[in-house]
Structure formats: C-alpha cells, structure tokens
Amino acid sequence: QPVTEWVDPKVQQQALQQLLRTVDPAVLTLSEEIIRLIPPQPIGSSRNREMVNIRTGVTFDPLGAAESAAGMTMSLLFNPARAQRLVEFHAREASQPGLEEVINDVLDATVKSKTPGGLAGETKRVVDYVTVNRLIGLAGNMRTGNQVRAITMRALSELGDWTDGKGSNSEDIAHYALLKARIASFLDDPKEFEVTPA
C-alpha cells in the first residue's frame, strides 16, 4: 500500500470546478419567493452562531447569506497550508496544479466573469469582494512560504491593473474601483492592512 500518491490533476480540476459552482451567483442568489418566506428577526431575540451575520437590521439579508457561503468556500480554497502544498506539489510534479493556476481559475470564475443583472449581480459583487479579501489575507499571512506570498501578491497586482476602467454601469464601475483601491491599499502597506471577515 503506497504511503502517499498524487491525485490525478484532472480529478483536482473537476473538484475545483465543483467548488466554484458553490460561489456562482446563479446558485447563491435566493429567489424572491424564498426571501419573502423568511421573517424578520423577532424583537428581543439575540443573534447566535446559527444565524447569518446581516447588515440590514432585523430583516433577512440574502447578500449576507451569500457572503457567508462564499467566505466558507474561499477560506478553503485559499487556506495557507493548501496554498503551500500547491506550490510544493507543482514544483515536485509539473502536471499537478500550481497556486497560480488555481488563483487564475478562481478569478476567471468570479471577479473576471460577466456580471448578471438584478440581485444576482449584487451577489456576484459580494463574491468578488470575498474572493479578493481572501487573496489579500493569503498574501499577507506571514506564516505561509515566501513563494505563496509572491504568487498571491503578483496575482493581486495584476488584478488591480485589470480592474482599471472596468464596468459597464455605475454599480460595476464603483465595485471595480473599490476592489482596485483595496488591493492598492494592501500592496502599499501589507503589515498595516486589516482583512475584514466575511
């Protein structure tokens, strides 16, 4: 029985694509029918760990729910130990997916994908923000290896350049400007930058 063995790169790519489906706005956006079924939080009741953090006061926050779900997926994808393994395994066996490849696939499926209209568009913008935030967290994590931080910082720098002038409507223009400013702020002073939790 082998002590360790490589997982087929095709299987890993399929697994990544399945994970990326969990942050697809078409999957994360709740229908109006479902949203209307969720009542406001009762007055006097306290929030607990079983409740989604919200920004809407007492009413249910469908974007907060999407942010929480995206945060779970991105925290797994950009886990520092996993990122380090991607660098190491790719160096040992070139057919294994590397960190740069995974980051590019994630960004293509999120930030660089087309923005739908309506609530799904707002959901996509939430997912984009969580994705960039987790990348910033990985790049700023001093417990990861230098190459993990180098690859992630380069990806963030390139993404900051990519966002320049992006957006076909006022919501998207504002969204990409925020992402660009957030990335620039981090790259200017990584040690002083604070990553906000999803």
Q: pLDDT tens for the chain, 198 residues: list them.
A: 888 888 999 999 999 999 999 999 999 999 999 999 988 877 776 766 666 666 666 778 899 999 999 999 999 999 999 999 999 999 999 999 999 999 999 999 999 999 999 999 999 999 999 999 999 999 999 888 999 999 999 999 999 999 998 988 999 999 999 999 999 999 998 877 777 776
Distance CA 190, CA 136 (A): 9
**Could you tell me the two tokens for 158?**
């390139």
Angle between helices 62-77 and 9-21 (to 10 degrees): 160
Q: What is the pLDDT of residue 111?
A: 97
CA 178 and chain centroid, separation: 15
The per-residue pLDDT for range 88-130, each reduced to its tens digit, is 999 999 999 999 999 999 999 999 999 999 999 999 999 999 9
pLDDT of res. 190: 82
pLDDT of 9: 94
What is each CA distance from 164 to 5, 55, 72, 175, in whole angstroms?
A: 43, 28, 28, 11
Q: Give the pLDDT confidence score for residue 56 in this predicted structure.
A: 67
pTM of the entire predicted model: 0.90
The pLDDT score that the predictor gives to residue 40 is 80
